[in-house]
Structure 1
Amino acid sequence: MAQRILHVVTNVDHYDDPSHPTGLWLSELTHAWHVFEEAGYEQDIVSPKGGFSPLEPRSLKFPNVDKTAKAWKADPARMALLENTRSPDKINPANYDAIYYTGGHAVMYDFPDSEGLQRISREIFENGGVVSSVCHGYCGLLNVKLSDGSLLVEGRKLTGFAWTEEVVARVDKLVPYNVEEEMKKRGAVYEKGLVPFTPKAVVDGRLVTGQNPQSAKATAKKVVAVLEG
C-alpha cells in the first residue's frame, strides 16, 4: 500500500488585530505536497475545525510566491482541497504514516490547543509514524503529550521559525507569543540556522522539523527518507 501523509492547515485568517490578515503560507504546503506526490504517497488535508483554510496574503506576493504556489492558486481542484479540509474527528490516525504541520502565523492561534490534532499526532507517532512540521507549524507540537503523559518534544532536537526571523519580518509586535521560547520551556532542544531565512531541517528519530518557508522542501525530503528507512 502507498504511504499516506496528513497535512495540517489553519482555519484562522487574522492576528489579534483583525486589520492584519494572516493564514496558511501556501508554499509550505505546495513544496511538501510536490515532494510527497513524486514519492508516490497519498495525501489528505486536515484543519483544527475542518472546512475553509485561508491563505496568508504575503505568501502570494513577490518575492514570496513561487511556481508551485502560483500553480496551486490557479488550479480550482487544488484550491477546493483548502475549501473543504477534514476535521480531526473524521481522521483515523491508523491510516497515516506521517503528519506534516504547515505554517503561517495563523497557526499560532489554532494549532497548540487542538485536542483533535494532538490525538492524531500522538497516535501516528506511537504507531511508528513520523511527526513533522515546518516554520510556525511547530506550534502544533507544543502541547502534544504521549500516552505516558510526557511531552512529545521534551528532550528532542527540533527547529521552527526563530524569534530573530519574527523580528526581521517585522511581526514581533503582532505575534501572540514567542514560540521558540515556548518550545525551550517545554524541554525541546531548539536549533536554528546561522543565517535567517535559509533552509534548515532537523531530524530526531521520527520527529522531523524545518525552520522557515525556505525549509519546506528539505523537510519533506527528510520525512520521505525516514519513511523509506
Structure 2
Amino acid sequence: MPKALIILTSHDRLGNTGTPTGFYWEELAAPYWILSDAGWQVELASVQGGNPPADPSSATDETMTDEVRRFMADDAAMNRLAHTEKLDEIDVSGCDIVYLPGGHGTMWDLPESQALGQLLASAWDKGAVIGAVCHGPAGLLSARLPSGKPLVDGRRVAGFTNSEEEAAGLTGTVPFPLEDQLKAQGARHEKGPDWQPFALADGRLVTGQNPASSAQVAQLMLQAAGQPAIR
C-alpha cells in the first residue's frame, strides 16, 4: 500500500493579535479522503506532535464542506488527528507523497523548521511527490537541495497570493508575503483568479493557490505518483 504523509502546523495565533489560527480544515480533509479512497495509507504529523490547532474560521457554516464533515464524523480520522506524530521523529523513507496543508499558522512555524526542511529534502531525493496548498508552500521555503539551492528554485509554484492576503486583511499580520518570498527563492510563481481553484504540477512538485484548490492538488499528486484517483 502506498503511503502519504500529511504535515500540519502547530502554530495557533496570528502574530501578536491573539486571534486563533492553525491549519485550514478543507486543505486537510479533501486530500485526506482523496488519497485514502484511492487506496493510500495516510499518516498525520505536525511540528510539535499531538493535536494540532485548527483555524476556527475554516469550520463555519460558510467554509464547511462535505469532506470536512466526513472527517469530523470519522472516529479513526479524528483520533489520528488528535495524536499526530512529531515532525522531528518521522521516518520519511517509506513515503511516496508528502503534503503540506495550509492555514495561516504555517506561515510562522513551517519556514523556520529545520526538521521540515531536512525531511522535504530527503523525501525529494528519494523520489517522493511533494505537495502543498494555500499557505502550505511556506513550508517549501525551508527545503534545500544537496547543491544548496532552494527546492522551489526554477520551478512552477502556486500559493496564496498577495491579493488574496490583502483581501483577507492580513497583509500586515503575516511575517512575509508568501507570493513574494517564493519568488525571492527563484520560484516561477503562477496564479489564477482570487479564491478560484488553481493548482499545477512541475514534475513531482505539486502546489495550489487557496482552499478551493485542495482537491485538485490531491488529484495532481496522485497523477505525479503514477496512480490516478478513483473518483
Structure 2 length-normalised TM: 0.94
Q: Give the counterpart letter for 1:221 in structure 2.
A: Q
Give the corresponding residue for 1:220: 218
Give the corresponding residue for 1:153: 152
1:66 to 2:65 alignment: yes
SS in 1 for 2:9: coil
Give the corresponding residue for 1:80: 79
**In structure 2, how many angstroms separate the alpha carbons of the residues matched to 1:94 and 1:143?**
19
Instruction: Identify the range of structure 1 (18-27 vs 180-189) with the bigger mean alpha-carbon deviation.
Output: 18-27
Give the corresponding residue for 1:14: 13
Q: Give the counterpart letter for 1:116 in structure 2.
A: A
Give the corresponding residue for 1:39: 38
1:18 Cα deviation from its structure 2 partner: 4.3
- CA displacement, residues 128-165 of structure 1 (integer Å, 9 cap, x when unaligned): 11111011000000121011211110011100000101
Q: Give the counterpart letter for 1:85 in structure 2.
A: T
**In structure 2, how many angstroms separate the alpha carbons of the residues matched to 1:115 and 1:70?**
33
1:45 Cα deviation from its structure 2 partner: 0.9
Q: Give the counterpart letter for 2:223 in structure 1.
A: A
Give the corresponding residue for 1:179: 178
SS in 2 for 1:148: coil
**In structure 2, how many angstroms separate the alpha carbons of the residues matched to 1:187 and 1:87?**
30
1:200 to 2:198 alignment: yes
1:81 Cα deviation from its structure 2 partner: 1.9
SS in 2 for 1:119: helix
Instruction: Identify the range of structure 1 (131-140 vs 46-55) with the bigger mean alpha-carbon deviation.
Output: 46-55
Question: Alignment identity in percent?
Answer: 34
SS in 2 for 1:49: coil
Alpha-carbon RMSD across the aligned residues, in angstroms, is 1.3
1:120-135 aligned within 5 A? 120-135=119-134
Structure 2: 5+ residue stretches without partners: none
Structure 1 length-normalised TM: 0.95
**In structure 2, how many angstroms separate the alpha carbons of the residues matched to 1:117 and 1:190?**
22
SS in 1 for 2:220: helix
1:88-107 aligned within 5 A? 88-107=87-106
How many equivalent pairs are there? Answer: 227
**In structure 1, how many angstroms separate the alpha carbons of the residues matched to 2:142 and 2:18?**
29
- CA displacement, residues 47-100 of structure 1 (integer Å, 9 cap, x when unaligned): 112112011010001211111112322334322222211112321111100100
Q: Give the counterpart letter for 1:228 in structure 2.
A: G
Q: Give the counterpart letter for 1:12 in structure 2.
A: H
- CA displacement, residues 161-216 of structure 1 (integer Å, 9 cap, x when unaligned): 001011112222322211110111111000000x2011111111110001100000
